[in-house]
Structure 1
């Protein structure tokens, strides 16, 4: 890497792309780090765009500013650094109020008498029950006599030393992430969270109403066991209006494989790959006729981007090659449902992929018939191989008029109709896959309607 030359300081995007929107990487490769080059070359540039440049808000998926995303940027929390803990916590099979309580507890937002005293909200830092002992968070939930009595009866004796010596955060984290089962037969992390909640409630009764209003240690232990079972069973039971009333989707085993296109049609299979998502990415595709023979293929080394963007680049380059090959009735298959939905549905102009999506839609809108559909990976194996193989190529699109020798076995299996079992949820075909039939139906209805109007006028 060399220092940026004086002329390089004045470079604009328009100076670094050709008339087709392809990056002229040599214009900046000598003075930009490789990782920056790879991020640049994966971006789509639309040479036909007429709109002004716009600022995007990176923290949101659609590029538009939101106060929620700004709040999360301004208020860093451990939630961003320990995804597994928070995912487990918010999926605990307990009432919602207990999940919220555990969230506050992990964040250190539940106050003890010690914390109140430090903030000058009170002059008494002792536990209401244990005179002379400071009431810390650990004292409330682990060291106060009712809590100690409870834990010694539900935690195995061999685990007691470690259980009783952990720091506050370690103790909370280890038990929330636990995959063990409690003595009551319910998940330990659910049992633990319910117990902590009820210990807190019992402590509050003693603090604000007096010790006579609290449960004795044996009674509290029994109450926790009973309520933990009741609440867990209630959580599992379906309720009116709950999604759990809906039966689970019935899956069937289907044989999946590549299928020949109908006579007169071409089939394009495309795929994308990203080593890291985002990471070094590539795309690949293969074009075959109704006889199953290889008509063309490509490997595209893209730079650094997400897997979805790599899938979209695969669609773009595949459509470009199919058009130049002379195909005018084309079936396109991709194993990325998200990429297909992004192409089919309207997207925000500020969406990070908006430029590339617009370029793909322009190619589809040319004077030809294109049917875009999802296919499982078992029916997309050749394109999958090409997309992964593209990662070894230098930047750019590398067309293949002939199939690589390594692909011959896969191509032969596709030609022979080899299939692989897969559990799928059956669904009816979408009308959008048959635009010509749908369009004909609409024209027929319109013609019928106008014919009736003319008949009425004559009468």
Structure 2
């Protein structure tokens, strides 16, 4: 009421976002921000329970690949029929495995008869309701909570990512290869993979293991009393030629107990030849019930691939070798000079040099190397 209009002046348009009623670029940008804020719908924040599940999912004790797989499950990013149909691909969404129900993520992983039987065979308890929920979110929340309960066995909380993964792989095998896996086989694959991963993460405390990466001695040395020494070697010429592996086991007196020679088809490089030779050696030692073993090799490739603790994920052979090592109560390995590994080298060279392709395990040492074995045994006076 106190504002007195100037009746004598005509009305005019002015800019209301500046004090002087004149347009400026600064006030223009301010107007655009106000309009965008008004037109943008309010985004609801993630509920605390869902936020906690996402955080727990990325902390799950499993491989990075399986953590990403869990993320895809929760994000709805698995290529099941229902998801493909929602993206415009015209197809029948009925589950191919059971022909009963829509093939969505929850059905494949929890409600399909194959999946239900796998979960029933596992040690993971069902949800409190006695049945899996139609909500994938609630099912994952239950599985993660199972791993946090102290009343549950350790493996119960760790194995569920592998079970989900193997159920998904079984579904793909049926859809694309027409192979139907028995639920017990699916669960067994999951348990084995989970156990291998756990063994690689936590070395068994009761086992003695040591890796010695260099030794200056130029002569073979006897093992300590109560131990045996296993020298092993491989022979590789090129990617098209036959490869060889050999080992010899001697006791604390230098007496040869067993030896072996093996030929195999071509391998792509000398690294794989050395790893295969070591794997065969470990398998043979286990089959012969040999324990408390010093493994000696003169391979420079093993130094890089294994003895310097390269990541086990680099080569599946290293995973298998690691598991075999865990079968011994006490062991360690030594990387020695070629002069300390003559016998094994001579045996394995007979495969590629002399084409002695017959594989065998024999007692004692090779008759044609008895002189060298005796010399090495008698020459060690340390």
Quickly name the TM-score band, shorter chain normalised: 0.3 to 0.5
What is the TM-score normalised by the length of structure 2?
A: 0.40
Larger radius of gyration: 2
